[in-house]
Structures are given as structure tokens and as C-alpha cells.
Amino acid sequence: MKVTFRIPGPLLSFTGGRKVVEAEAASADTVQEALDQLWRLYPGLRDRVLTEQGQVRQHVNVFVGADSIRDTGGLSTPVRDHAEIAIIPAVSGGS
Amino acid sequence: MVDVRHVSPKGGDALVMVGTMKGAFLFRSDESRRTWQRGGPYFPGNAVYAMAYDDRAGRRRLWAAPESFHFGAVIRSSDDFGKTWSDGETANVRFPEDTGASLKRVWQIAPARAEEPGVLYAGVEPAALFESRDGGQKWSLVRGLWDHPHRPQWQPGGGGMCLHTVLLDPTRRERIHVAVSTAGVYRTDDGGRSWRTAHKGVRAQFLPDKYPEFGQCVHKIARHPARPDRIYLQNHWGLYRTDDAGDSWTDVANGVPSDFGFGMAVHPHDPDTAYIVPLESDEFRCTPEGRLRVYRTRDAGKSWQPMTRGLPQKDALETVLRDALTTDRFEKAGVYFGTRSGKLFASRDSGTSWTQLADGLPPIVCVKTAAVSKAKATGKGKGKAR
């Protein structure tokens, strides 16, 4: 199956400047599994998006289509073929 | 796009490292410290609460802990004074899975003694101590402190639940002091395996029990390298000095307008001389009477005198945070501090008179200094600095 990832500007240094990354996976039933494919391609992204405990950072949002995974089951959110996953910094911008 | 400037320090130069809430800056001068060049911002947009200079084993290495509000904190290093930095791709300070904790902020980077050039310590939030034994590549949690029975009961102060200061005893390799807000001072005498409190006599103004076993809100501790059992302490209300490595503390708030404040620094060559910037109160954390005054003691806290020459004495409601006041190691000591309003001040006569090095920086959260060592081929010389 195929998943398309959208990468935010501050993280482009970890993808060689690619704003859109497409990943093929034999199986990626959940956001967690889809993101694992992304980390394999661009390992530097993982620690930016997840804490060392494997949770999405507090001020990072992950969307599948138009839905934030915070509302749809977190990293266990189901992913369908040709899904688009966007990683977007929260609007909370620091002090 | 922000324009990043660079500096090219030479051996013997003075270097001031300034961490702010929106990036880091470097200021360099020759040893006269009359004119300064500025480099930065490095890591623009990232808070940099911890910086250090590491000249052990012939290095000329900067350490910094840039922290993205969104994407976390890493410790990075530069061997060319900020022109390039280690990649930071992997988060190198990581809490083990079994702790359930996640790194929020690196508050302190402390290179260890010269005879152990691969060892560094980092104080972090949530309050914990990390150690590296391979020159900063890999960091591990100091379990002895994390497993201390007090730790689950520590409470965060206004700045967060942070281990903000690490003091390595220059003469006893196994002895380390750390300061934690809000918990107090803890000391190990066995290289980190076991820890005990070292804040007897420090008052907790904000608790019903004024002298609890732990829970003191220590804002800063500062040690003189030539007299390592002497440490000065700025508490959340209270100024103290110990002469027995923290076994007992004496109140030294004599003649100051307030004993509330954050920063504290010790003169590099005189253990009786220390510096503070008193703030009015915990309610109004600004310089009293709108006057920006550094208070200096030359008699180990028996008395304090205000240093005002070159500092604004009208309408200056400033705040100096806990790691933003420091000294250098030159023969004629330099003293430096940065304000939350982005002003950087320097004295090159042990605090008697001051000049402003910068204005309009983002809020300053740490100020560190170095006497730049000679290039690698010539070893670890430091010009006229001690």
C-alpha cells in the first residue's frame, strides 16, 4: 500500500528538502506502522515527532486526511491505501 | 531569513556564550575585553538554556542544547565556534523506557575535570542528571539520583521541575553537587551511586515547615574552584554560604535590598568575593526601585555593596535569571550578566564598572564564558587566563 506524508518546513533538513514523501509498505494498518516506514526513510524525523517514550510530542499534530489522530485513536488510527498523513506543528508557538 | 554572523576567536581571546529563548549568540574580544564582535543567532527560534566551553584534551568545543518548542531538545557541539554543529539527528539525551519520562529541557551542560576529558554531565527537566563517558556521543541517566526516594515527591518551581546546576568538585573526583528546583541541594560522594541532601539550614519560606528534609527552592549554587568546600547559594528567598560542602549553611543576606533572586557567581580568584542581582520579591521579580544593581561581597557575605557604575539606575525593571550571571577566568576578572529584556552587560574590573555589550536580544537565559585555548597543536594553553 502507498502512503503520502507531508513534512513541515522546520523538518525539511531531515528529508533532504522533500516536502512530500511517498512510502510503499507491504502493510501499514495504523499510523504507527505508516510512520515506521517514514522513519526508515528519514531516521532524523522520528525523534522530532515522537518522544523517547514513543508518544507524539505535545506540540506536534498528526493528521490523516483532515482528521487529527488525537481524535481518532492516536497512533493506532487506521490507515487506508493512498492515505495522506500530514505532520504539522501546533499553533502554540512558544513564549 | 535571519542573517547569521560568525566570529573567529583566537587563542587567548575572551568568549561569552549567551543562550536566549530564541537562539544562541557568541561574543568575542581579545583579552583586553574592550571591544566585542558578535556571532549568531545560532539555532534561531530554539530556546538555548545550556551552553558550555570544553577545552579538555586540546579541544576548542562549544556545547549547546537547542530546544525546539515543537520538536524537542538535543545536545549539539561545534569545533569551529558555531560555524557548523554536530547533526543532532538523534535525540541524544533520552530517558530509559522504564522511567516513563520524556526529556523536556536541558538546563546545564557540565564538562567534567581535565583528567577525565570524555566525561560530561547534563542537568535536565524533568529533574535528572545524565552522564556521558564518550565525549558526549551517548548519554545515560544517573540512576542513583533518579532512584532517590525523595525524587517522586519533588515539586516543580515556576521554571519547571528542573535540575539546573551541576558542580563538580575539582579535588574530589567522586563528589558532585546538584541543585534542583524545587527539591534542594543533593550531593554524591561516590560518583553518583548514592545521594544525600546538602541543604541543612536553608530555609523554605514558602512551606509550613521552614526547614524540611527537602523541598528547598534553590535557584543557584556557585563554588570557588580553589576552595571547593565553599559554596554560595541563592534560594527562593535567602542567601547562604557553606564552608563544609553543604553539611551546614549560614545566612549571609547582610545589607541587601532583597534576598530574593536567581543568579549567583563567584570571583575566579577570590573565594570571598561573590555576586548577585537581588530582585524585589517572588511576586514582583524585578530589580528593586527600578535600579539595576549587582551586589558584590568581598568578605564572604558579611556585607554586600551595590555596583552601579554603568548600569541604569532609573526605570530599570529588569530580571536576571538563574544561569545568566557569571564570571570569567582572566587575571582581572570579568563579570557578565544578561537580562530577560535582552540586554547583556559586562565588567572587566571585577564588577566595579559596567558596559552594555548588547540590547534587543531575545530573553537571555544563560551566560557562560571561556578563555579561548590555543589551537589544538599547541595544547591547552590559555594566554594570561588562569
Look up residue A11 and give its three cell numbers: 523538518
Give the pLDDT band of residue B375 (cuts 50, 70, 90).
confident
Q: CA-CA distance, B319 to B338, in Å (whole number)?
A: 9
| pLDDT value, residue B1 | 77
Look up residue A50 and give its three cell numbers: 515522537
* CB-neighbour burial class of residue B137 (10 A; exposed 0-12, middle 13-18, buried 19+): exposed
Nearest to B89 among A44, A55, A59 (CB): A44
- Interface residues of B toward A, Cβ cutoff 8 Å, are 21, 45, 47, 68-72, 74, 87, 89-91, 94-95, 97, 100-103
Give the distance from residue B328's alpha carbon to the nearest chain A alpha carbon, in angstroms. 30
Give the distance from residue B108's alpha carbon to the nearest chain A alpha carbon, in angstroms. 20
Give the distance from residue B97's alpha carbon to the nearest chain A alpha carbon, in angstroms. 6
The overall average pLDDT reported for chain B is: 95
Q: How many domains does chain B have?
A: 1
Question: pLDDT digit string (tens) for B107-129?
Answer: 999 999 999 999 999 999 999 99
Q: Per-residue pLDDT for A95 more than 70? A: no
Q: Per-residue pLDDT for B319 more than 60? A: yes
Q: Per-residue pLDDT for B305 more than 80? A: yes
What mean pLDDT do residues B179-196 have? 97
Look up residue B266 and give its three cell numbers: 563567584
Give the distance from residue B3's alpha carbon to the nearest chain A alpha carbon, in angstroms. 17
Evaluate whether residue B180 is within a structural domain.
yes
Instruction: Assign residue B259 the CATH number of its domain.
Output: 2.130.10.10
CATH topology of domain A2-89: Ubiquitin-like (UB roll) (3.10.20)
What mean pLDDT do residues B305-317 have? 98
Supply the Cα-derived Rg of chain B in whole angstroms. Answer: 19
Evaluate whether residue B241 is within a structural domain.
yes
Q: Per-residue pLDDT for B131 more than 50? A: yes
Q: Per-residue pLDDT for A65 more than 50? A: yes
Kindly state whether A44 is in contact with chain B, defined as any CB-CB distance less than 8 angstroms.
Answer: yes
Tell me the C-alpha to C-alpha distance, in Å, between residue B149 and each of B84, B144, B145, B194, B265: 42, 10, 9, 11, 31
Look up residue B50 and give its three cell numbers: 545550556
| pLDDT value, residue B116 | 95
| pLDDT value, residue B159 | 84
Sign of CA dihedral B132, B118, B111, B213: positive
| pLDDT value, residue A94 | 56
Q: Which of B190-194, B224-228, B308-312, B345-349 has the least mean pLDDT?
A: B224-228
Question: pLDDT digit string (tens) for B238-262?
Answer: 999 999 999 999 999 999 999 999 9
Q: CA-CA distance, B219 to B157, in Å (whole number)?
A: 10
Q: Per-residue pLDDT for B380 more than 50? A: no
Q: Where are the domains of chain A?
A: 2-89
A contact test, residue of B1, B68, B70 with most A CBs within 10 A: B70
Contacts of residue B74 in chain A, CB cutoff 8 Å? 47
- The torsion of the CA quartet B287, B293, B294, B295, rounded to 10 degrees, works out to -100
Contact A92 B69 (CB under 8 A): yes
| pLDDT value, residue B383 | 36
Q: Which domain holds residue B266?
A: 14-373
| pLDDT value, residue B87 | 81
Look up residue B77 and give its three cell numbers: 557541539
| pLDDT value, residue B298 | 98
Q: CA-CA distance, B100 to B152, in Å (whole number)?
A: 13
| pLDDT value, residue B374 | 83
> Hey, how many other C-beta atoms are within 10 angstroms of the C-beta on B204?
21
What mean pLDDT do residues B53-81 have? 97
| pLDDT value, residue B157 | 84
> Hey, how many other C-beta atoms are within 10 angstroms of the C-beta on B114?
11
Q: Per-residue pLDDT for B384 more than 60? A: no
Q: CA-CA distance, B98 to B341, in Å (whole number)?
A: 40
Kindly state whether A13 is in contact with chain B, defined as any CB-CB distance less than 8 angstroms.
Answer: no
Predicted TM-score (pTM) of the model is 0.95
DSSP secondary structure string for all residues of B86-107: ----S--S---GGG-----EEE
* Closest alpha carbon to B257 in B232, B284, B231, B228: B284
Evaluate whether residue B352 is within a structural domain.
yes
B contact test, residue of A13, A39, A53 with most B CBs within 10 A: A53
| pLDDT value, residue B376 | 63
| pLDDT value, residue A93 | 58
Kindly state whether A60 is in contact with chain B, defined as any CB-CB distance less than 8 angstroms.
Answer: yes
Contact B95 A52 (CB under 8 A): yes
Give the pLDDT band of residue A80 (cuts 50, 70, 90).
very high
Give the pLDDT band of residue B314 (cuts 50, 70, 90).
very high
Task: Establish, for the pair of chains A and B, how many residue pairs have beta carbons separated by less than 8 Å.
Answer: 52
Which residues touch B120 (CB under 8 Å, ≥6 apart)? B54, B63, B109, B110, B111, B112, B131, B132, B135, B136
